[in-house]
Structure 1
Amino acid sequence: MFACSRRTLFIHHRLYDAYLPDAIQDAFTVSAAYCNRTVETVDMVLRILENKAANLVKEDRKSNSLEELLASVQALLLFHIIQLFDGDIRQRFLAEQNMDILRTWTAQLQDRVSDLDSTPTWQEWIFTESARRTVIISVFIDGLYSVLKTGQCSNIRALSVLPFTSGATLWDLTSSASWLAESHGLRSHTVLYGDFSRAFENGRVPGKLDGFQKLLLAPCVGERYREVLEIEA
């Protein structure tokens, strides 16, 4: 998704319109190279990935702005996903070495992202919601990997209390004018992960599910809703 459309389920397509951090440039380069890898180039692609991830984790985050911290977490998360699930043993080992760093950065990001103002601007909401979703996906991937390794999710409670804005309407808007028209009652759309999962099982999530909602629900409700939760590429 990132290589083809500069967006993911946790990176808004307008998040980096004005400012493009080095970490995100590296993440885009790696994503594009990985998606277009061939038998002849895969070794080089993984070497580039390894180098970019190593350089990222070496950087000092203590004096970083919140914007730089978000970019770093998103970039490391993209690297992490590739390294954990590519199947290459060395890359998986390296990702495991960086798990504590990603957890620390994620916790810092969660602590530094304040609650939404009652009337945020569109750009402020884009940043805050991208940060919220980035935190959720980081904790989500951590839990998913623990299930694959040990058979148990290590952070169900932490996941259940993470907030996000439910539904694709606000996330998919393309202009500030449409934001002004649609953003009334913004706080009523903010839900906790656990509450959202229970609401879905009780039939209280109206309308069509978007990709982010489906991803969150997949490990919670399992095979019963397999067809409903299929995510389109």
Structure 2
Amino acid sequence: MAAIPRRQKACIPCAESKRRCDKQLPACRRCIEKDLDCAYPQPRKRRRDPGTAHETQAIPTSGHTESLVLPEQTSFSGTAGSDATSGVHPDLGHWDLISANNLEAAFLDEAITPPQITSTAPTPILIPDQALSIHDSNNFLRKSSTPFFLQDDTFRMHHKQHDPDCVTTVEMEPFIGEVEKMLQSWVTNGSSNFIHRRLYDKGMPTCVQDAFTTFAAYANRTPATKETILQIADDRATTLTQHTVNPAVNGIQEIWAHLARVHSLFVYVFIRLFDGSVRMRASAAQQIPTLRSWLGQMWETVKRHNWDDYPSIRDAYRPLLGTSSEFHSDYDTATEIWQLWILTESVRRTYLIIDITLNTFEIMTVGRADCEGYVLFTARCGLWDANSAVKWFNLCRGDARSPLMVPSLTPQPVISQYLSTEFDEFAKLCWSFVVGTDKIQSWVDRMQ
């Protein structure tokens, strides 16, 4: 009988890093690109044992995966009745331009070899002034580099170089008013400074639909309807937090689903914390730990995601966007990178807004708040409002002197080194509550 060819196993560096391996010989593509010593495990010699009918393969159990839950009401368009084992994935509309095959393959590997989950405790990383140059246009353009927004250090929690207790200098009440304006913009214009207009435009989960309609009613409240709307927000928040199911692990859809439930619960908590009766405020305050937990789970899910499974990231290809013969492939690549940025930047801005909002409430009520660290976000003018992948891509490749990503709560080095015209309004708004509106206005006025 002819020998059955053995299935080639992943190389040792890819297996240890829990990354996909193309299993090419003499070396896989990933090892070549990362200049690693590619070596494959030696196959075991099979020995016929009459007493053993089958050979058992051990599945590693050293990894630990955190249980991720989604509200029972978090259904998606076209997936009614689906569950964790149905094999039916959310219909993400324009997001399915990103290859579904790559997503499924990546998480099939993770199901066999569970990834190590890093601690949720932030690592105190200090950002010197010169660190801004790490996330500039030159770095984005290098063929062998990862896009600026997916680099590992952009997902770390950072702490101020001084003031270890992280006592905030945010001007509290005006900040809460601006957050309310952001939510009003979302239900009026379909987008806000932390919910991108492309995020839910072709596939809004049911839980987000409920939150959207609740805040739309709240934005148009009258004295006669206010209490009814607050009761609706309270009931929906309770349902959202109490009825949960385990989602199917499905790559980018998992990140999207985490973001959806965080947005939903935040809407309900925000309404009741700052415009409700004592009873409503107390009910919302009891859900703050749940909201923080979901926020942390969302962040960890993004951090551990294997971005190398997307062709544009794996191949390190950066489109030229100017050669007509390459237009279609350039467009597909630019669109994939743009959509990944929309998702991750929405996660960053959502984390930033919710964390500061909850800290502000705690300071207003108990006089202090524990600081979990602050995140980086994209601040270059025009990127958030870009209406196409090509426009976004060209803005990223703009002035190499202008930073792409900046720290959210330590704007002083940025203000000292750069012009205000290089940053979008969201950055100026956030920083105005950190260093003061007068200082930001003076920074803006220097160009007039």
The two structures have a TM-score, normalised by structure 1, of 0.85
How do 1:76-225 residues align onto structure 2 when only pairs under 5 Å count?
A: 76-114=265-303, 121-155=337-371, 158-159=373-374, 162-184=375-397, 188-195=403-410, 197-202=411-416, 204-207=418-421, 210-222=424-436, 224-225=438-439
Where structure 1 has 5 or more consecutive residues not aligned to the other structure, the ranges are none
- Establish whether residue 55 from structure 1 lines up as the match of residue 244 from structure 2: no
Contact 2:272/2:284 (CA < 8 Å) preserved in 1?
yes
Structure 1 stretch displaced more, 60-69 or 48-57: 60-69
Q: 1:194 to 1:35 in 2, by over 3 A?
A: closer
The correspondence for 1:20, drawn from 204, 213, 217, is: 204
Give the secondary structure class of the aligned counterpart of 1:218: helix
Deviation at 1:209, TM superposition (A): 5.2
Indicate the structure whose relative CO is greater, using CA pairs within 8 Å and at least 6 residues apart.
2
Q: Tell me how large the CA RMSD over aligned residues is.
A: 2.8
Residues 190 and 210 of structure 1: CA distance in aligned 2, closer, same or farther (over 3 Å): closer
1:222 positional shift:
2.9
Give the partner amino acid of 2:361: Y
Deviation at 1:98, TM superposition (A): 0.3
Q: In the comparison of the two structures, how many residue pairs are matched?
A: 226
Q: Provide the rounded CA distance (Å) in 2 between the counterparts of 1:227 and 1:163.
A: 22
CA distance in 1, matches of 2:394, 2:382: 11
Which residue does the alignment assign to 2:70? none
- Offset of 1:87 from its aligned partner? 4.0
Match of residue 59 from structure 2:
none
Is 1:43 aligned to residue 43 of structure 2? no
Q: Is the 8 A contact 2:382 2:424 kept in 1?
A: no
d(CA) in 1 for partners of 2:437, 2:391: 37
Deviation at 1:71, TM superposition (A): 0.3
CA 1:125 to 1:224, structure 2 compared with 1: closer, same or farther past 3 Å?
A: same
> Which residue identity lines up with residue 235 of structure 2 in the other structure?
N
Cα offset, 1:11, TM superposition: 0.3
1:11 is aligned to 2:195: yes
State how far apart, in whole Å, the 2-side matches of 1:194 and 1:59 are. Answer: 35
1:61-72 equivalent positions in 2, closer than 5 A: 62-63=246-247, 65-72=254-261
Instruction: Determine if contact 2:396/2:404 at 8 Å carries over to the other structure.
Output: no
Q: Could you report, residue by residue, the CA deviation over 1:169-225 in whole angstroms, capped at 9, with x for unpaired residues?
A: 110011223123223379941222244x12245353531654422342133213543
- What is the percent sequence identity of the aligned residues? 31
Contact 1:199–1:205 at 8 Å: present in 2 too? no
TM-fit CA distance, 1:143? 1.3
Large movers: runs of 4+ above 6 Å: none
When structure 1 is superposed on structure 2, of 198-207 and 86-95 the one drifting more is: 198-207
